[in-house]
Amino acid sequence: MQKISLHPSGPELSRIIVGAWRWTNESAPQIEQLIQTSLDKGITAFDHADIYGNYSCEENFGIVLRANPSLRNRLQLITKFGIKLLSDKRPDHNIKHYDTSTSHITWSVENSLKMLATDRIDLLLIHRPDPLLNPAEVAEAFSTLKQQGKVLQFGVSNFTPTQFEMLQSYLPFPLVTNQIELSLFRNDPFFNGDTDIMMKHKIRPLAWSPLGGGKFFEDERIKELMNRLCLKYGISAMQLMLAWLLKHPSGVLPILGTTKPERILEGADAVKIDLDRQHWFELLRAVNGRDVA
């Protein structure tokens, strides 16, 4: 599996990332199998968030790392913070809201370190833009965590280009990514400045929902085209959709959210596919319903 640096300063991650947001009801042996399958295919990066699985997914993953401490140095941990859900596990939350205060950032990191059974987070992301975000506070908290070695790199998720640049202007080190919704079926980030700003800053996007949430099945015309191209390349629909993203010069890193080892194996092989430029535009036209201008 190809490794790719999110930024010239790092970190270097596997080109495909495995997302743990669905790992809610899996047993420790099942999670260990998912981790091992990923590592065997060269996928070393795992995407988390404190809220996933009603605040359970980090802990489930950490149970496996605690039982198999040698795994930790073979993988990178990405996690996110900032959303406060209504949950029986958080009885003090009276409304779903965001919190990017210094105190919550510090608490979130300490809690994620404990849940994940690790002494460091490789990449920490602000999960959603917070209208009450104080960039000076965030910069202070991030700088302290970096100096302490508890977080190695920082980024954001679902930020607009202007929100990204505003926060970056307060930080003494680079934000290394923006994790955004990006797929063949949600391709406007390639046209609205989302990926442009990342290329300007020499960073790479992480793509959540890279398969478009199953929209492939909703349109017979698109399905027919995809079936034809899958037959031509000898690949699956999943691999075709990932190859479409991987073709973009921004260097997209798709996040596969799956609980099935065979889907990890299938997705990993998408990095071997070099999609023809005209086929790339043919898929774009089919989804958008029009030719480029």
Span 15-32, pLDDT tens digits: 999 999 999 989 999 999
Known catalytic membership, residue 52: yes
Length of the chain: 293
Q: Which of 52, 55, 170, 233 is catalytic?
A: 52
Q: What is d(CA 286, CA 279) in angstroms, rounded to the nearest whole number?
A: 10
Q: What is d(CA 76, CA 144) in angstroms, rounded to the nearest whole number?
A: 21
pLDDT of residue 285: 96
Nearest to 206, CA basis, from 15, 30, 40 = 15
Are the C-beta atoms of 241 and 211 separated by less than 8 Å? yes
183 pLDDT above the threshold of 80 = yes
Are the C-beta atoms of 58 and 79 separated by less than 8 Å? yes
Percent of the chain at pLDDT exceeding 70: 99
List pLDDT tens digits, range 97-110.
Answer: 999 999 999 999 99
Query: What's the CATH code, domain 3-211+246-273?
Result: 3.20.20.100
Residue 216 pLDDT grade (very low, low, confident, very high; cuts 50, 70, 90): low
pLDDT of residue 213: 81
Query: E strands of the chain, at which residues?
Result: 3-5, 12-14, 17-19, 45-47, 76-81, 83-84, 97-98, 121-126, 151-157, 175-181, 206-208, 253-257
